[in-house]
Amino acid sequence: MKHDPVVIILVAMVVTIMVVFGFHMVRRAPGQAALAGANLTGQPAPEFTLQSLDGKTVRLADFRGKAVLLNFWATWCEPCKIEMPWFVELQKQYGPEGLQVVGIAMDDASQEDIAKFASNMGVNYPILIGKEAVGDAYGGVQFLPATFYIGRDGKVVDKVFGLKGRGEIEEDIKKALAEGQAVQAQR
Amino acid sequence: MHSVAKLAACLLLLAPLASAQDSPGRRTPSVTLAPVPITAITRGKPGTVELQFRVSSGFHINSNSPKSEFLIPTSLKLNAPTDIVVGKVTYPAGVDRSFPFAPDEKISVYGGDFALAVVIRPLAHVVPGKYALHGQLKYQACDNAACYPPKQLPVDFEVKVEKAKVVVHKKNPAQSPHAHN
């Protein structure tokens, strides 16, 4: 049986497209179905008022003019534990440029347990006690981690569901820092 | 050649479907309980009921003894009718696995099929018959990149309480004090 080279090339192309498309979906799509209809990118980040672990009332608006990395996490979430040391380092590295990492604990654990966990992780950024309504405002955070990158202008630059590599997180931080630079310049 | 080209076109059309099925987060984790056959238990004596669970493919749940105090262990809680005592629940040992999100760390998990054994002991005066037990399996699932909030799976099954079988020992008439020659 003779094989037409055109056909072989066509089949190879189809298989390659399938593999690349599948790989892309696996890397980018966790939670996108869960958050269908909640495309916040380019939209103003939903405002919230939450209590921090040290008892302060914190509003998202308190960070206006800064790039905010808003990370929904929980003590029972192993992938969240992997990201947290990265966030600590990135806060140190990009804090002087205007980054503020903010953690929102979506946990049933006691505040003491959350504080103990955060302390064990050496967290150097505010941890807020999450409420379901805040998760809903961000599209229904149905699994963790879920991270929103908010530009200096208060608009969502990107959202990432599930664990990503440190490099990807850093790229998103740079995008958030760059977004709304004009806003900062006006201040 | 025509048919090969058609096949290629079909594959191209199916590509998004195939990738969607493999994407984490596109499916939610589930744990299911296989139908539990009614176990006959003699009243006054302990009996064991085996509960077979299945974790959906691509997910894992923490074992009953996770390696971190912050992880939520899989646990079974049962409510029994009065005079039926729920005894020890035996959990299988978890499988120590590492995952892409923490390649250097091992987590004790259940994946695929696993079974719990529950000891049930009806008290000696329980009226024979069928009794329903209800409870929940609490678990918290993750895939390779994300974790899902804790869930509770309803666990319902029945046991049949029976009377103790009376063993009749036939006496040897020759040994009976009432035997007369």
In a domain, B15, yes or no: no
Q: What is the distance between the terminal CA atoms of chain A, rounded to a whole angstrom?
A: 73
Question: What is the domain range of residue A79?
Answer: 39-186
Alpha-carbon gap: B110 to the closest alpha carbon of chain A (Å): 15
> Which residue type, as a one-letter code, is found at position A131?
K
Per-residue DSSP letter, B102: E
pLDDT tens by residue, B17-29: 443 334 445 678 8
CA-to-CA distance for A74 and A135, rounded, in angstroms? 12
Q: Are residues A1 and A19 in the same domain?
A: yes
Mean pLDDT of B51-78: 95
What DSSP string runs through A101-123?
EEEEE--SS-HHHHHHHHHHTT-
Considering chain B, what percentage of its residues have pLDDT values greater than 70? 78
B72 contacts on A by Cβ (under 8 Å)? 76
Tokens at residue B39, please?
């176990």
pLDDT tens by residue, B122-167: 999 999 999 999 999 999 999 989 999 999 999 999 999 999 877 7
Q: Are residues A25 and A76 in the same domain?
A: no
Number of structural domains (chain B) is 1
> A30–B25: do the CB atoms touch at under 8 Å?
yes
Q: Are residues A149 and A166 in the same domain?
A: yes
Tokens at residue B82, please?
């009065």
A29 contacts on B by Cβ (under 8 Å)? 20, 23-26
**B67 touches B107 (CB < 8 A):** yes
- The enclosing domain of B35 has a CATH number of 2.60.40.10
> B25–A14: do the CB atoms touch at under 8 Å?
no
In chain B, the residue whose alpha carbon lies closest to the alpha carbon of A31 is B25
Mean pLDDT over all residues of chain B? Answer: 84
Tokens at residue A159, please?
């959202």
**A107 touches A130 (CB < 8 A):** yes
In a domain, B38, yes or no: yes
In chain B, the residue whose alpha carbon lies closest to the alpha carbon of A118 is B70
| φ, ψ dihedrals at A173, nearest 5° | -65, -45
CA-to-CA distance for A145 and A171, rounded, in angstroms? 17
Specify the pairing of strand B39-42 against strand B151-162: parallel
Query: SS3 sequence, A9-62?
Result: HHHHHHHHHHHHHHHHHHHHCCCCCCCCCCCCCCCECCCCEEEECCCCEEEHHH
Does position B179 have pLDDT exceeding 60, yes or no? no
Q: Are residues A74 and A46 in the same domain?
A: yes
- Neighbour-count burial of A171, counting CB atoms closer than 10 A to its CB (0-12 exposed, 13-18 middle, 19+ buried): middle
> A14–B11: do the CB atoms touch at under 8 Å?
yes
- The enclosing domain of A71 has a CATH number of 3.40.30.10
Banded pLDDT at B181 (limits 50, 70, 90): very low
Banded pLDDT at B5 (limits 50, 70, 90): low
Number of structural domains (chain A) is 2
Question: What is the domain range of residue B144?
Answer: 27-164
Q: Does A113 touch chain B (CB under 8 A)?
A: yes
Banded pLDDT at A16 (limits 50, 70, 90): low
CA-to-CA distance for B118 and B79, rounded, in angstroms? 12
Banded pLDDT at A174 (limits 50, 70, 90): very high
Q: Are residues A61 and A19 in the same domain?
A: no
In a domain, B2, yes or no: no
Q: Are residues A23 and A76 in the same domain?
A: no
In a domain, B137, yes or no: yes
Q: Are residues A67 and A8 in the same domain?
A: no
Does position A102 have pLDDT exceeding 60, yes or no? yes
CA-to-CA distance for A168 and A101, rounded, in angstroms? 15
Banded pLDDT at A145 (limits 50, 70, 90): very high
Per-residue DSSP letter, B72: P
Does position A28 have pLDDT exceeding 50, yes or no? no
Mean pLDDT of B5-16: 48
Nearest to B70 among A10, A82, A117 (CB): A117
**Helix or strand (DSSP H, E) at A153:** none
> A117–B16: do the CB atoms touch at under 8 Å?
no
